[in-house]
Amino acid sequence: MSRDAILGGIRRGLRRGPLPEDQAMALRARLAAHPRHLLPARTRLPRPALIEQFAGYLQREFATLARVTAAGDVPGAVADYLAAENLAPVLVMAPHPALRALAWSQQPRLTIREGRAEATDVIGLQHGYAGVAETGTLMLPGGPERPTTLNLLCETEIVVLRASRIVGAYEEAWDLLRAEGGGGMLPRNVMFVTGPSRSADIESVLELGAHGPRRLHVVLIEDDPAARD
């Protein structure tokens, strides 16, 4: 259903007529322009500082981080993390082309299934769309190549993210998604993940894994030339 049809239905429900043309034009201009609110100063940093800020906030929120210099190092980094945490090397992986292209066969100790996560899966490997340095947050849009269940069902979630995909503010992450979505279309589901799932609702005792993964591990590919200048 189009935006005009939805808004028209709301107006009919409220017993209101069509918007006057001047108001309609102003509304269309605002929707097209995506005006900015006040952006925090910490989102206006040079690339090296921005990436370091993302890494710092990420780890402050109880996630862990491994840095690799090239995409080819990702399979080894994943295997090393699972071994260090004494976790079984069995995982479900998002069927994303960038993950499929990696040389997983060089890590024979890993057993990998592609697809969505099921309730019995313990470890999930997700493709990170973007990182937001403002809060150390991952942007994870849903889609066939990035099943949302990988963000929710597994006890341990591993996300592969390129440093070149780190932006400063949330608004810039949305800009990226709109620009790459084709025709301004957005996915049905977009998740922002800041650290593993946790809650302190009961007696103010922090409990990890309250509503989702109890571990979040990010493998960051250092592919941003500006961060090395």
SS3 letters for the chain?
A: CCHHHHHHHHHHHCCCCCCCHHHHHHHHHHHHHCCCCCCCHHHCCCHHHHHHHHHHHHHHCCCEEEEECCHHHHHHHHHHHHHHCCCCCEEEECCCHHHHCCCHHHCCCCEEEECCCCCCCCEEEEECCEEECCCCEEEEECECCECHHHHCCCCEEEEEEEHHHEECCHHHHHHHHHHHHCCCCCCCCEEEECCCCEECCCCCCCEECCCCCCEEEEEEECCCHHHHC
Predicted pLDDT at 198:
61
> Residue 219's closest CA among 79, 78, 107, 85?
78
Predicted pLDDT at 30:
76
Percentage of the chain beyond pLDDT 70 is: 90
What is the pLDDT of the chain when averaged over all its residues?
Answer: 89
Q: pLDDT category, 81, cuts 50, 70, 90? A: very high
* Nearest-5° Cα angle at 151, 132 to 213: 100
Look-up: residue for tokens 């996915």?
A: 187
Phi then psi dihedrals of residue 170, to 5 deg:
-55, -40
CATH topology of domain 41-228: Rossmann fold (3.40.50)
Phi then psi dihedrals of residue 40, to 5 deg:
-60, 145
- Flag the least confident range among 6-15, 82-91, 149-158, 187-196: 6-15
Predicted pLDDT at 199:
60
d(CA 162, CA 202): 37
Q: pLDDT category, 150, cuts 50, 70, 90? A: very high
Mean pLDDT, residues 185-197 taken together: 89
Predicted pLDDT at 183:
65
Mean pLDDT, residues 188-211 taken together: 71
Predicted pLDDT at 221:
98
Judged against a pLDDT cut of 70, whether residue 4 lies above it is answered with yes
Q: Which residue has the higher pLDDT, 209 or 35?
A: 35
Question: How do the domains of the chain map onto residue ranges?
Answer: 1-33, 41-228
Q: pLDDT category, 223, cuts 50, 70, 90? A: very high
Q: Which pTM was predicted?
A: 0.85
Q: Which residue has the higher pLDDT, 186 or 120?
A: 120
Ramachandran region of residue 184, left (φ > 0), alpha (ψ -120 to 50) or beta? Answer: left
pLDDT tens column, 24-56 = 788 777 777 777 778 899 999 999 999 999 999
Predicted pLDDT at 228:
66
